[in-house]
Structure 1
Amino acid sequence: MNDTSSALLGPAEIRDLAGRLGVRPTKTLGQNFLHDGGTVRKIVRTAGLRPGERVVEVGPGLGSLTLGLVEAGASVVAIEIDPVLAGQIADTVRTRVPGADFEVVLSDALDVTELPGEPPTALVANLPYNVAVPVLLTMLERFDSLERVLVMVQAEVADRIAAVPGNKIYGIPSVKAAWYASARRAGTIGRNVFWPAPNVDSALVYLERREPPTTTASRRQVFAVVDAAFAQRRKTLRAALSGVFGSGAAAEAALRAAGVDPGARGETLVVEQFARIAEQLRDLSDPQVTPGTSVSDTDEQEGDE
């Protein structure tokens, strides 16, 4: 296997490869190509992968992180939406890390429902900033084999995912991620390790799978309650959930039955409390109970603090 320093892609090699492919990073696809070997090695170390572990990577781009993963002995399946990049990455890996266990799936990660080979136990990725939360939650929902996740996202998004109740940035991503896993910030990444350099800081967030709350409510119901609770952050839960339960009085009764103060706000509740509230929903087919944007939202709908 090649020496790490020679196998990984440096800044000049990234630009040269992109030039030969006619690839120009686009904001539409959220492309910022990682080119710093030290950062790649930091991510791989932090992921704590086992030899031969099946890893899924979303948005491998030109292959910087991919090369670090296969060199560490991981069995990698990469999901790439760009056909030019998907067509190139297998050759890049084969050339720079001969014998690597690697395959690529040409698809939008939000459309993938199954992957070839063994089920992945880890997700390690530099997620496109514009779809980071939807992709993360979608992967956690669809692939329950995932035990651990380490993703690089916009620093603000990492903080929201890892936020705890009572924090002013605690919201929809925080609660929905907590349904699947415990989350924590795992490091800060500088802007200059990317080409082109993004206008925002990046960070690593580490998630470890845990069982969802024990509840008679479905995930759909719980997430509908979460969406409603944060739709207007300034509202009390009694007011915010009045549409879900049909009226303010019904919402108050449901909250009291769940052991939650009707005057509280969503940012103070843990995911288990949202589950208890959702248990008060009487009818799965009630048109007032909608799944919201389920796994594909951010805090954008929350409004001003």
Structure 2
Amino acid sequence: MRVVELLGAKDIRQIATALSVRPTKTLGQNFVIDANTVRRIADAARLTDEDVVVEVGPGLGSLTLALLPRCARLHAVEIDGRLAGALRPTVEARAPREAAKLTVHHVDAMTVAATEFDVMPTALVANLPYNVAVPVVLHMLAVLPELRRGLVMVQAEVAERMTAGPGSKIYGVPSAKLAWYASCRRAGSVPRGVFWPVPNVDSGLVAFERREPPSGDRKKVFEVIDAAFAQRRKILRGALAGWAGGMDAAERVLTAAGIDPRLRGEALDIAEFARIAAHREAA
């Protein structure tokens, strides 16, 4: 693996000044300015030289430079036009021997389709905007079937929710829906001081590995999850009443699925949500 000179705090600010870029809360822009943190994230991604990486929100290129020597190709998805336009010149200046691996997509990650890519990504590595982190990961897993694993940096509280399991007070819609696609785990913490501007919260790393989903229709299973957690303090018999067509109907579906109607949604794993959806279809 070739060694690349990574960006430091001074470099980040110089590039931002040259582009007249001021990080915005609207786009969730907090740039990592510590090279050691970037290197640690790249190491934790466990990439191989055959991986095709999709990086969402590359910003000024800190993580991009660390990832390029570790993979076969890198697709950078950036919604900010100024940042998208400046990424290739930054890579060509800092890592000219890696620049041919880079493809920049000036597009909203939430609208990305598989047709964007000439070679399908196998790994997602990203410093995700806090306000769209979970939707972006779910969207990427849905539209990129060859995406096998990933490592994302998100708000620490979001990392806890993404990796929570059944029975936890913070287990909910993000945890359950991610479990449809992948197993998730915490992969480390990131202090707020390594960002510019400094956010009001700490961050966490979440790693995931894709696995086979339960049998059933994903959309219908997700409808059950949404209904179960819309009023999470209710037992399932009541929480699923609107979805099933009444409390009696909900109880019949739950009983047929082998689920105690007195449980709450936070007690169920993804396979149990799938069984509920399947038994409603069979009813």
Q: TM-score range by the shorter chain?
A: over 0.9
Runs (4+) of structure 1 moved beyond 6 Å? none
Aligned 1:134-149 pairs, distance under 5 A:
134-149=135-150
Secondary structure at 2:76's aligned position in 1?
Answer: strand
2:83 maps to which of 78, 82, 85: 85
CA distance in structure 1 between the aligned counterparts of 2:134 and 2:281, rounded to whole angstroms: 30
Unaligned regions of 5+ residues in structure 2, if any? none
Count of residue pairs the alignment pairs up: 279
CA distance in structure 2 between the aligned counterparts of 1:190 and 1:39, rounded to whole angstroms: 9
CA distance in structure 2 between the aligned counterparts of 1:140 and 1:103, rounded to whole angstroms: 20
CA distance in structure 2 between the aligned counterparts of 1:274 and 1:170, rounded to whole angstroms: 14
Aligned 1:203-214 pairs, distance under 5 A:
203-214=204-215
In the alignment, residue 140 of structure 2 is paired with which amino acid? M
Q: By how many angstroms is 1:147 displaced?
A: 0.6
Match of 2:234 in 1: 235
CA distance in structure 1 between the aligned counterparts of 2:31 and 2:13, rounded to whole angstroms: 9
Match of 2:60 in 1: 62
CA distance in structure 1 between the aligned counterparts of 2:212 and 2:236, rounded to whole angstroms: 26
Aligned residues: CA RMSD: 1.2
Check if 1:108 corresponds to 2:108.
yes
Secondary structure at 1:105's aligned position in 2?
Answer: strand
CA distance in structure 1 between the aligned counterparts of 2:70 and 2:243, rounded to whole angstroms: 49
Aligned 1:239-250 pairs, distance under 5 A:
239-250=238-249
Q: By how many angstroms is 1:104 displaced?
A: 0.4
CA distance in structure 2 between the aligned counterparts of 1:31 and 1:200, rounded to whole angstroms: 14
Match of 1:94 in 2: 92
CA distance in structure 1 between the aligned counterparts of 2:25 and 2:139, rounded to whole angstroms: 21
The answer (yes or no) to whether the contact 2:53–2:71 under 8 Å persists in 1 is: no
Match of 2:223 in 1: 224
Secondary structure at 2:281's aligned position in 1?
Answer: coil
CA distance in structure 1 between the aligned counterparts of 2:123 and 2:162, rounded to whole angstroms: 18
The answer (yes or no) to whether the contact 2:151–2:208 under 8 Å persists in 1 is: yes
CA distance in structure 2 between the aligned counterparts of 1:2 and 1:254, rounded to whole angstroms: 58
The answer (yes or no) to whether the contact 2:88–2:102 under 8 Å persists in 1 is: yes
Match of 1:71 in 2: 69
Q: By how many angstroms is 1:74 displaced?
A: 4.2
Match of 1:47 in 2: 45
Q: By how many angstroms is 1:149 displaced?
A: 1.0
Unaligned regions of 5+ residues in structure 1, if any? 284-305
TM-score (norm 1): 0.89
CA distance in structure 1 between the aligned counterparts of 2:213 and 2:267, rounded to whole angstroms: 19
In the alignment, residue 141 of structure 2 is paired with which amino acid? L
The answer (yes or no) to whether the contact 2:123–2:150 under 8 Å persists in 1 is: yes
> 1:194-232 deviations in whole A, cap 9, x for unaligned?
100110110000000000012xx3111000000000001
In the alignment, residue 192 of structure 2 is paired with which amino acid? R
Q: What is the percentage of aligned positions where both structures have the same residue? A: 58
TM-score (norm 2): 0.96
Q: By how many angstroms is 1:280 displaced?
A: 2.0
Q: By how many angstroms is 1:234 displaced?
A: 0.7
CA distance in structure 1 between the aligned counterparts of 2:138 and 2:202, rounded to whole angstroms: 21
